[in-house]
Every structure is written in structure tokens, then in C-alpha cells.
Structure 1
Amino acid sequence: MGEDNGSDRAVVAGIREAILTGEFVPNQRLVEADLSERFAASRARVRAALLELTNEGLVERVQNRGARVRAVRLEEAIEISEVRMVLEGLCAAKAATRITEAESEELERIGENMREAVASGDVLGYSRLNERLHRRVREISGQHTAATVLERLRAQNVRHQFRLAMHPGRPTVSLPEHLAIIDAIRAHDAEAAEAAARAHLRSVIRTLPEAARRPAEPA
């Protein structure tokens, strides 16, 4: 049973990764036979994996058409970001009360690396650091329920997040927002940390419509 569960998880993880990296694009059909061959898994396992990813919001079932990668509309992306604003604020506040000295130094290094990435024009490097920072704040917070929800929301919104990351001038705007979050958490100021996280997500919400008008590039 344990081996079967491990195989099931591998199929789910493989399809999820292909969606998150942009290999499988929005509205692309997910053919069970092709996935079965790719992941060396039975059709039943692939079907179970697609059902789990449907529950996560990454895949949708279309009547008489099978499964496809779910495309998230701009309006939904904004709603997702509004929910993130509340939960990211909660995690930042919690992180400020729990952060250790070693974790504080780690966030400081991430902030320095973000500065260097912006100064050198390394947009993809900055995007990776952005994701790392948000993940570490969630982990430091110890708020596992919020972290689980946020990870699922991030996965659903990955294409809009990539457009946002590639939006001209965006790193210059978001850098001080991220540094404000880091500074407040390192100062153990929960109220300021929550306010900084919410301010950052409000900035994301304001920019999403403009970023969505630009053509999407492969992740």
C-alpha cells in the first residue's frame, strides 16, 4: 500500500510540476494515455492524480472532452491575491513573533540578494528570490493551515505571477515592499510586518490588470 501511495504521489507531483513550470499550458488537454506513458503509471493512477489536481484548482474536467489545464481569469487572479493579502499578512505577523536569530540572518541575506538581483537586472533570479522569501516567511510563521492554503493559491495563480514578474519595472517597485516585510519581521514587529505584507499584495493587485495585457512568455 505504501509503495502504491508513493507512486500516486509521484504522478500528482509530476503533472503539477509540468503545469507550474509552464510545460503544460492553460487550456491544454491532458490525455490520460499520454500521461500514463510519460509517468509509467496505470490509467487508474493518472485518473486519480487528475482528480486530485482538479480539487487543487490546477486542472478542470470538461464534459465529453476529458481534463485540461485550468486557465485562471484575471478577475479570479485578483480574488486570489485578495485572499493572499490576508493570509500573507497573518504569516508575516506570526513570523515576527517566532523568528530566531539564524532565521533573521537568513532573511537579511535574501534581502541583500534581492537588492543585487535588481541592481544587475537579473529578473528571473529576483523572481526566484521573491518566491523563496514568501516561502520562508510562511515556514517561519508556523501557521501550517495558512501556508497550505497559500501554496495552493500560488499554484493556481502561477501564470499571472509569471506575467507580473516579467512586467517592466516591477522588481524596482516590489523590492522596497519586500525589504519592508523583512525589516519588520526581523524587528519582531508583528503589526508592521502584517501591514507591510498587505501593502505588498495591494501593489500586486493594482499591477495585475496591466501585466495581464502583455503577451505571456514561457515560464
Structure 2
Amino acid sequence: MQVPKTATTQRHDGAFVTDKLRRAITAGELAPNQRLIEADLTEQYDASRGAVRLALANLAAEGLVERIQNRGSRVRAIDLDEALEIVELRAALESICAAKAAERADGAGIAKLHAVGERMSAAVEAGDSETYSEGNRELHELILTLSQMKVAPGVVSRLRAQNVRYRIRLARHHNRPAVSLPEHLEIIDAISAHDSDRAAAAMGAHLRSVLNATREYFS
């Protein structure tokens, strides 16, 4: 009697693990300096040890993970000077992306921007900093998507991920949402009006405000 063959389960590859770990770091689910233990990650992501090592190497190249000889890997922590430099770089790149979004966004994209803006406004009204922080992240990512640029969004996403500790703490600061909400709504209005110069200026002003607040709160 022939024994039927059992199906083999395909384990997740390095690209899958890279994406999952990147998202966890970006969302603040993994803290700066937190150790990343290969055996735990292979189980968590149902991946081989080789796939996990590839993912850690990929994220080290992106500046999200630090690999320490004979001690494994950990989420890379950045100091305040580096955090401020990252915001300056974001200001330059995201201003360009906002201008392109103003040129290229269609009606559906603009509707999505306004929907996010309304949720952020409601979150400020309710004093819900968690929802506001999530809306902040979603809005910036949506603008990158609407820009239709090919290189800048990936660079900005990596910069935002590296700066996650300061970015999330700032967004949840007790009075920061009320300050930044009008800045975000101005960006939305400028893109909706297809005014690229105004959109770039609004994004630049917002991120200069982020820069100043980061320096003030964390110095």
C-alpha cells in the first residue's frame, strides 16, 4: 500500500522577514537597543535561520539594526544630533514629495487625504494621542504614495523608521497634536488645491516645527 505524500509547508523567506521586522521597528513595537534573537525570530516568523540572518543584514544596511560582533543584533538607537539631522533631510525630501503630490493627486487620493485629516481632527478633539499618532504616520505615507516618485518615498520611509523613538514620543506629547494639526491640514488643503509651491512650503514649515520641537523636548 502506497503511503500518500504529506504536503510540506513553505517557510517564509528573507524578504518577508525583512518587511515584518521593518514594520515592527517603524511602528515602535521593537524598542531601541532591544536584542533581536535569531532563534526567537525564526519561530515568530516561521522562517529559516538563513532567512532571519538575511533580514537582519538587510535592516543593518538600512540603518535600522545594529550587528555587534559575538553579541548578535539589536534595534539601533540614535542620538539627538542624528535625530535632528534626519528631520532636516526629511524636510528637504518630503517637501518635494508634497509638491509632486499636489501635481499628481487625483480625486480619490484627495478624498483619502481629507479622511485622514478628519480622523486626526477628531483625535485632537478627543485627546486621543494614540489615534493622532497613527493618523500622522498614515498621512505622511499617503503623501509619499500620491507623489508617485520612485526613489524618494523609500528613502523617507527608512529615515522615518530610524527616527521612530523621537517621532512617536513627540507625536504623543500632551500638546504637540494641537500644534501640528493645523500644519497637517494646511498641507492637505495645498495638495487638494493642486498648488505645488504651497504644498512644498507647508510641508517644509511643518517639519521645521518638528525639528524645533524635537530640539526643545529632548535636549
Alignment TM-score > 0.5, same fold: yes
User: Is 1:163–1:212's contact at 8 Å kept on the other side of the alignment?
Assistant: no
User: Is 1:167–1:211's contact at 8 Å kept on the other side of the alignment?
Assistant: no
Report the Cα offset of residue 209 of structure 1. 2.7
For the aligned residues, what is the CA RMSD?
A: 1.9
The alpha-carbon distance between structure 1 residues 106 and 211, as it changes in their structure 2 partners (threshold 3 A), is same
Give SS of 1:144's match. coil
Report the residue type matching 1:46 in the other structure: V
Bigger radius of gyration:
2
User: Is 1:72–1:156's contact at 8 Å kept on the other side of the alignment?
Assistant: yes
Give SS of 1:75's match. helix
Report the Cα offset of residue 5 of structure 1. 9.6
Give SS of 2:77's match. coil
Pair 1:122 & 2:128 matched: yes
1:64 to 56, 66, 70: 70
User: Is 2:98–2:143's contact at 8 Å kept on the other side of the alignment?
Assistant: yes
Report the residue type matching 1:62 in the other structure: I
Report the Cα offset of residue 33 of structure 1. 2.4
2:157 to 142, 151, 154: 151
Pair 1:9 & 2:12 matched: no
CA separation in 1, counterparts of 2:60 and 2:10?
Answer: 20
CA separation in 1, counterparts of 2:29 and 2:126?
Answer: 28
Give SS of 2:33's match. coil
The alpha-carbon distance between structure 1 residues 17 and 141, as it changes in their structure 2 partners (threshold 3 A), is closer
Q: Mind listing any 5+ residue stretches in structure 1 that lack a counterpart?
A: 214-219
CA separation in 2, counterparts of 1:43 and 1:102?
Answer: 43
Pair 1:88 & 2:110 matched: no
Q: Mind listing any 5+ residue stretches in structure 2 that lack a counterpart?
A: 1-8
Hey, what does 1:217 align to over in structure 2?
none
CA separation in 2, counterparts of 1:43 and 1:100?
Answer: 44
CA separation in 2, counterparts of 1:106 and 1:11?
Answer: 29
The alpha-carbon distance between structure 1 residues 75 and 65, as it changes in their structure 2 partners (threshold 3 A), is same
**TM-score normalised according to structure 2 size:** 0.89
Query: Between Structure 1 and Structure 2, which shows a larger proportion of helix residues?
Result: 1
User: Is 1:96–1:185's contact at 8 Å kept on the other side of the alignment?
Assistant: yes
Query: Which aligned pairs between 1:132-151 and structure 2 lie closer than 5 A?
Result: 132-151=138-157
**TM-score normalised according to structure 1 size:** 0.89
Which region of structure 1 is more displaced relative to structure 2, 97-106 or 68-77? 97-106
User: Is 2:28–2:168's contact at 8 Å kept on the other side of the alignment?
Assistant: no
